[in-house]
């Protein structure tokens, strides 16, 4: 089965530096197959026979901690789960040329309901919708500087989510489907 690991806060401003080649090698040494990475921001695809996502998440986190010294929770999604995330994106994302589109992947126990309550979208500028284990967040490109989403950085929930551009999600899904 194909899986995707999403790491948070990796290789940003010289902090949490982890080369993707090292992460790839770590997973291969721990029995995962067909390991590949996408860009340097912590997106890794691999195959595993495991079906229990929670148990698999713990195994990957333990391997990362022991082998790479990376001690942070991860988000792990199966190919089917990522397909659902991409397919359920808001309809306006398909035609909205003036939108910056992001998917915030939530780490358990954070729920979409709780995360929604913490965000401060600016009316007429930002839009946010809950999905299964994700938030779909968009901002008008023409009004980026007015977005209320930047305030999430100072909130407790910020440590419990990892954000990807929607185009990145689509590209990763394409990679997962082609292998």
User: Could you tell me which residues are beta bridge partners of residue 3?
Assistant: 46, 78
pLDDT tens digit sequence for 100-147: 999 999 998 999 999 999 999 999 999 999 999 999 999 999 999 999
Share of the chain above pLDDT 90, in %: 71
- Report angle CA 27, 24, 14 to the nearest 5 degrees: 120
Point out which residues pair with 72 in neighbouring strands: none
Contact of 105 with 161, CB cutoff 8 Å: yes
- pTM: predicted TM-score of the whole model, two decimal places: 0.92
Scored b (16 or more CB within 10 A) or e, 37-70 reads bbeebbbbbbbbeeeeeeebbebbbebbeeeeeb
Q: What is the structure's pLDDT at 138?
A: 97
Q: Collect all residues with Cβ–Cβ distance below 8 Å to 95 and sequence separation of at least 6.
A: none
| Axis crossing angle, helix 20-29 with helix 53-63, rounded to the nearest 10 | 120
Q: Which domains are seen in the chain, by residue range?
A: 2-81 (3.30.70.1280), 83-178 (3.30.70.1260)
The strand ranges marked E within 26-131 are 33-37, 43-47, 75-78, 99-106, 126-130
φ and ψ of 61, to 5 deg = -60, -40
Distance CA 159, CA 79 (A): 24
Cα–Cα dist 10/43, whole Å:
10
Can you give the pLDDT at residue 16?
A: 62
Low-confidence ranges of the chain (pLDDT < 70): 9-17, 179
């Amino acid at each position: 089965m194909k899986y995707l690991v999403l790491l948070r806060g990796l290789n940003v401003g010289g902090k949490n530096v982890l080369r993707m080649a090292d992460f790839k090698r770590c997973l291969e040494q721990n029995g995962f197959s067909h390991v590949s990475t996408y860009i340097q921001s912590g997106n890794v695809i691999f195959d595993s026979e495991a079906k229990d996502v929670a148990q698999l998440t713990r195994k990957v986190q333990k391997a990362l901690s022991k082998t790479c010294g990376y001690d942070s929770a991860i988000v792990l999604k199966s190919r089917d789960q990522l397909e659902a995330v991409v397919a359920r994106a808001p309809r306006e994302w398909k035609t909205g040329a003036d939108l910056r589109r992001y998917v915030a992947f939530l780490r358990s126990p954070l729920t979409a309901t709780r995360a929604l309550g913490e965000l401060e979208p600016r009316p007429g500028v930002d839009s946010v919708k809950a999905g299964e284990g994700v938030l779909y967040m968009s901002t008008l490109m023409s009004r980026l500087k007015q977005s209320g989403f930047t305030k999430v950085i100072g909130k407790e929930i910020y440590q419990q989510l990892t954000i990807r551009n929607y185009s990145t999600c689509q590209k990763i899904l394409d990679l997962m489907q082609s292998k």
